[in-house]
Structure 1
Amino acid sequence: MSARFPGRKLSLARLCLLSGAVAAVTVGGLTGFNRWEDARTAESAGSFFAGYVDVTATPSYAFEDPAKDIGGGAVLSFIVASKTEPCAPSWGTYYSLDDAETGLDLDRRVARMTQDNGEVIVSFGGLLNDELATACTDPDNLADAYAEVIDRYELSTVDLDIEGENLKDTAAGERRAEAMATLQKERAGTARPLNVWLTLPVAPTGLTAEGTAAVAQFLEAGVDLGGVNVMTMDYGGSRPEGTDMLTASKNAADATHRQVQVLYERAGMALGPQAAWRKIGLTPMIGQNDVKGEVFTLEDAEAFNAFAAERGAGRMSMWSLNRDATCSENYGDTTLVSDSCSGIDQKGFAFAPVLGADFEGRAATLAEEPVTEESPEALVEDDPETSPYPIWSDVGTYREDDRVVWHGYVYTAKYWTQGDVPDNPVLQAEETPWTLLGPVLPDERPVPVATAPAGLYPEWEPKAVYERGDRILVDGRVYEAKWWSQSDSPEAAVQGSDASPWQKLDDAALVKAIEEEKDKS
C-alpha cells in the first residue's frame, strides 16, 4: 500500500481472528472474550466477519455505533512502534495509548462495543510504519509492549499485519514469533486465552517466499496460529493480463490454502483440507484499489463471499469500514484512493453485509465448532490404454514441454526432470518442474505419436561415423546429428542432455521430414 493518507496505515492486511489449536485437524480458537463477555461466547461459533477500521483516519469512524451494520466485529488498525520510544506502542505513531483515550475516546468506544456484544480485535503493523518487533529489539520489552495493548483493551484476538520492510526483516520476525508464543503460553488456560492471526500480502499465485517464511517462523516458535489472513488486493504486475480481480482473488485464496497445508505438514502438524480452510482469512480492498485499474465491485464481493463460504474459509474481512460508502460529488478523481469512500457508486448498498453474509461466528469461538473433514478421495488409477499422454514414471526422463498424466491430471514439464512427482506439494510454483494443465477429460484417448516408417533413414550403428545434419532412426523416431559423432548413443538425447551430439525431431519436424522424403521419391 502507498503512504498517501497521513491518518492511516494503508496496508491492507487486516482482520483478526481466532485462536488456533495445534492439532492436526482442528483450527484455532479459544473461549472467553473479555470482562463483559462470559456466557455469550458460547452462543455462536464458526467462520466470522470483521472489517478493518482505520482508527486515526479523519473523519473518525464510529465502529462502536450499534446502528452500523458491520457484522458484529471490528479490527482496529494499526498499533505500531512510537517514533521516539521503540518499545512503546502507539496508534499509527500519532497517539500513545493514553493519548488515544483522551483524544479519540478510544477506551470508552471499545468498552461500548464489547458491552453491546461486539468483538474488538487490534491489528499490529501495516505498511507505513515500524511494527513493534521491527523497532523493539529487546525480547522482554517487546512482549511487554504487546501485553500492554492486549490487557488495556481486554483482547482475546490480535492480528499481526506484516508487510513491506517489516516482512523483509527476518530477525524482527523471530522476535515477533517468540513474543507471541510467550504471551500465548502465559494466557493458556485462563479466562481470556490469546488468539493470533498473521496477515500477509498475497499474489494470485499465493504467498511470497517472505510470507511463507513468516508463517514458518511462527509455527517453529510454537505459536498456535488462529490462521493466515491474506490481503487479496493491490496485485499490480503479479495479476496476469486479462485476469479480473475476482478471479485473481480466488486463485490467491486457493494457492494460500495449498501453501498452509504444506507449511503445517513441514512443521509436523498435518491439516486436512477443511481444517486448513478454517485457518484462511480473506481481505479484499473494496472499490478502487491502490493500483489504478484494480477495482473490486459489489458484484465481486457477492461472488467472493459465496466462494469463501463454499470453501469454508475461517474469516472474511475488508479494507476498510471507513471506506464503505460512495464518494461525494465533491471528490474529484475517484481513481485516486480515498480513506473515507470506496471510489465507486455503491447505489446505496454497503460492502460489509455483502462480504459478511453467513459469516456470523466470532474470532474467540471459531474453533468450538467441530471441523468435519471429508474423506479423502481415492487416488485415480491412471490407465495407459485410455490416457492421452504417458503415465508419469519415477524412472522416466522428461524434457521441456513433455506431457504426462498422473492421478487423473495432465502435467507439462518446465525443464528436464527425473524423479520429481508431478503432484508433490510445494510452497512456490517455481519449486516444481511441472505445471498442472488440468484433469484428464472423460472421453480422451491416447494422443497418436508420430513415428517414421522403416527405411526412411538408416538405423543407428555404434561404429558408424556421422556428420552434422545426418539423420538416423531409433524405434521409429528420427534423430539428427548436431556435430561429428561416433559411438554416441541417441539415448542421451532422449534424456535431454545438451552434451549429446543428437537431437530428436519433434512430431512436427518428423511429419515434415516424412513429407520431404516422399517428395524426393
Structure 2
Amino acid sequence: MNARPRGRFRGRRVSWLRVAASTLAGLALVAAGVAAVAPPISLPPMGTPVDQRWYAGYYDVTLDQGTELADDELATAPGGAVLAFVVAADDTDCTPTWGKAYTLDDAATRFDLDRRVERMRREGHPVMISFGGAINTDLAVACATSVETAKAYGSVIDRYGVDTIDLDIEAKTLADRSSWDRRARAIARLQQARPADDPLSVWLTLPVGPDGLTRHGIDLIAGMLRAGVQVAGVNAMTMNYGIREPNNLVEISERALDATASQLRDVWKDADLDLPPGGVTELMGATPMIGLNDVPSEVFTLDDARALTAFASDRGLARLSMWSINRDHTCGPNHPFTGTVSTQCSGVDQGDESFADVLSNGYLGRAEDAVPEADSPVIEDDPKTSPYPIWNSTAFYSRGVKVVWHGSVYVAKWWNQGGTPPDDPMLDTSASAWSYIGPVLASDQPFRLPQLPAGTYPEWDAATLYNQGDRVMLDGTGYEAKWWSRGQRPDRSILDHDYSPWTPIEGTAGEDVAGVGTSASG
C-alpha cells in the first residue's frame, strides 16, 4: 500500500547523498562561525630548534698522560668537549688549576692542552670549560671576593678563548651558600664586560633526583638570576640517584627531567623572565654517567643511551653530555670486574659502539664550520722560534718525542728514523709513526736545551771511553752515561731515548728534556 508523503518535504524523496552533503556544509558553517569569535589555537613549544641542539662530552683533564697522544680521544670524539675541572689550588688559594693536579702552564707543557684546544677550534669542535666538580675546592669558595673570583674565572676563559663555560656545582660546594653571591656577582661581572657580539654563555650543572632539582639547586639558580646572570641553561646530572635495587635508569631520568622542567618554569616565572621561544627545554641539558655509575646497582647501557637520546630529542632538550670521554670504551681483559668504577673505561661491553656516537645523534647542530687545512699555506718552520725541534728525515726519534713540521706539532707513536714526513697525506693514521697534536701557537716559547754553568762537568771528547754514571757537557748541556761508549755524541739522546748511551741532565727548573717539552704556552 502506497501512502502520500507527509511533512515539509511532501512529494520529495530523501537523498542520503544530499543529506550528507548538506550536513558537511552545515558543519563547515559552524566551524567558520566559531573561528570568527574564538582565538586561534596556539601550538605548544617544540623545544630547541634541531640545528641548535648540541652535544659535548666531559673530558677529565687530570687523567691526561702527556705522551699517550696517539689517536687522541679529545680531538677525535664527535661533537665538542667540556674540559673538567678547573678548581682552586687550595682551600684558600684562588689560583686556577686542573683538579689541583696541574697548573694551567703545567697542562700546556706536559700534554699540550692549549694546542689541542686550538686544534679542536680549528676543526669545528666546540670547547667549553667546566669549573667545580664533586671534589676539591671551587674557586668561588677559595676566592675572598667576587672581584678575585671574576679574575680567576676570567684568566681561564681568556687563556682558552672559550665563549661557553659550565659551572658544575654539587656536593659540599652546592651546600656552601656563603659562596653563592661571590660566584653570581663574578659571573655577572664577566658577562657585562663582554662585547655584545661575543657574549659569554653560562650553564649550571646541578644534581637531580627522581623528583628533580634539590632545594639548594633551585635556590642557587634563583640567586644567579637575581644577580643579573644570563643563564644559558641548566644541565641535569642524570646519574647516581642512590637507588639500591636495580631500576630502569632511563625511566627515572625521564621523570627527573620532566620534574626539572616544571621547576625551571616556576623559577623563571618568579624571576619575571620570559622562557625562550621553544619553551623551558631550550634551557635544559642532561648528562648521564655511562656504564657503571658510582652507585653499584645503577648501570647505564648503550640501549639506555639510545632511549635517553630519543627522549631528549622528543622533548627538545638543548644539550646532551656524558661523563666521560675518558671512559667511553670497554675495559681491557686485564681489568677484572670488581664492581669498582674505573675512570678510564665504562665497565660495560660496548662492542664496536661508543656512547658518544649514540648520544650525539641529532645533537651536532652547534658545531662551527672547520677551517679547511687544504686552503692554508705551507708554513716554513724556523728553528729559532719553534717550540720543538724541526723534524729531520735523518734523525732518530723515540716514542713520545715531539717535533714541529709545517707549523704543526706531532708526537712519535713509536721509535722511528727516516720514513715519510709527519704530515704525509697518503699514510693511514695507523701506518704513520706520527700523531698530530695541534698547531704551533703564537704564545709558544722557543725550544731550548737546559744549560748548566760552565765547568760543571768535563767537556765531552769523542776519543774518551765513558762508563755508566760518567757526566759530561756538550754545548752547555749536561749528560750522564747510561752504559759505556766511545764516540757517541750525547746530544743524540735529546730525540733518541732508546739507543743513545746518554741521557740529558736537567738544568733550569721545569724543563722537560725527556719529552723534548721545554716550550710553554700562554
- Give the alignment's TM-score, normalised by structure 1: 0.59
Distance (Å, rounded) in 2 between the aligned partners of 1:176 and 1:358: 33
- Per-residue deviation at 1:69? 5.0
Match of 1:306 in 2: 310
Match of 1:47 in 2: 53
Letter in 1 for 2:248: D
Q: How does 1:237-248 map to 2 (within 5 A)?
A: 237=243, 243-248=247-252
Match of 2:469 in 1: none
Task: Could you tell me which runs of 5 or more consecutive residues in structure 2 were left unpaired when the two chains were aligned.
Answer: 1-44, 370-522
Distance 1:308 1:181, change over 3 A: same
- Per-residue deviation at 1:275? 2.3
- Per-residue deviation at 1:117? 1.3
Match of 2:335 in 1: 331
Match of 1:362 in 2: 366
Distance (Å, rounded) in 1 between the aligned partners of 2:272 and 2:261: 17
Show structure 1 runs of 4+ deviating over 4 A. Answer: 25-29, 58-69
- Give the alignment's TM-score, normalised by structure 2: 0.59
Distance 1:127 1:302, change over 3 A: same
Distance 1:128 1:267, change over 3 A: same
Match of 2:79 in 1: 72
1:276 pairs with 274, 280, 283, which one? 280
Q: Is the 8 A contact 1:157 1:364 kept in 2?
A: no
1:211 equivalent to 2:217? Answer: yes
Match of 1:176 in 2: 183
1:291 equivalent to 2:295? Answer: yes
Letter in 1 for 2:140: A
Distance 1:151 1:27, change over 3 A: farther
Letter in 2 for 1:324: D
Letter in 1 for 2:210: P
Q: Is the 8 A contact 1:66 1:116 kept in 2?
A: no
Distance (Å, rounded) in 1 between the aligned partners of 2:107 and 2:276: 43
Match of 2:230 in 1: 224
Task: Could you tell me which runs of 5 or more consecutive residues in structure 1 were left unpaired when the two chains were aligned.
Answer: 1-24, 30-43, 366-521
Match of 1:185 in 2: 192
Distance (Å, rounded) in 1 between the aligned partners of 2:237 and 2:139: 20
Distance (Å, rounded) in 2 between the aligned partners of 1:210 and 1:77: 22
- Per-residue deviation at 1:76? 0.2
Q: How big is the alpha-carbon RMSD for the aligned residues of Structure 1 and Structure 2?
A: 2.6
Letter in 2 for 1:156: D
Distance 1:164 1:67, change over 3 A: closer
Q: Is the 8 A contact 1:64 1:112 kept in 2?
A: no
Q: Which has the higher contact order (CA 8 A, sep 6+)?
A: 1
Distance 1:64 1:134, change over 3 A: farther
Distance 1:181 1:76, change over 3 A: same
Distance (Å, rounded) in 1 between the aligned partners of 2:194 and 2:73: 30
SS in 2 for 1:236: coil
Letter in 1 for 2:273: M
Match of 2:205 in 1: 199
Greater Cα offset, 155-164 or 111-120: 111-120
Greater Cα offset, 84-93 or 197-206: 84-93
Kindly, what percent of the aligned residue pairs are identical? Answer: 47
1:266 equivalent to 2:274? Answer: no
1:94 equivalent to 2:101? Answer: yes
Distance 1:62 1:261, change over 3 A: farther
- Per-residue deviation at 1:138? 1.5
- Per-residue deviation at 1:68? 5.9
Match of 2:355 in 1: 351
Distance 1:126 1:178, change over 3 A: same
Letter in 2 for 1:170: R
- Per-residue deviation at 1:63? 11
- Per-residue deviation at 1:48? 0.2
Q: Is the 8 A contact 2:48 2:281 kept in 1?
A: no
1:167 equivalent to 2:174? Answer: yes
Match of 1:149 in 2: 156
SS in 2 for 1:88: strand
Letter in 1 for 2:60: D
Q: How does 1:482-493 map to 2 (within 5 A)?
A: none
Q: Is the 8 A contact 1:53 1:63 kept in 2?
A: no
Distance 1:84 1:266, change over 3 A: closer
Q: Is the 8 A contact 2:79 2:367 kept in 1?
A: no
Distance 1:213 1:351, change over 3 A: same
User: Which protein has the larger Cα radius of gyration, Structure 1 or Structure 2?
Assistant: 2
SS in 2 for 1:82: strand
Q: Is the 8 A contact 1:76 1:123 kept in 2?
A: yes
- Per-residue deviation at 1:362? 2.1
Letter in 2 for 1:198: L
Distance 1:53 1:187, change over 3 A: same
Q: How does 1:73-152 map to 2 (within 5 A)?
A: 73-83=80-90, 86-152=93-159
Q: Deviations over 1:114-160 (max 9, x none)?
A: 11111110000001111100111222111100000000000100000
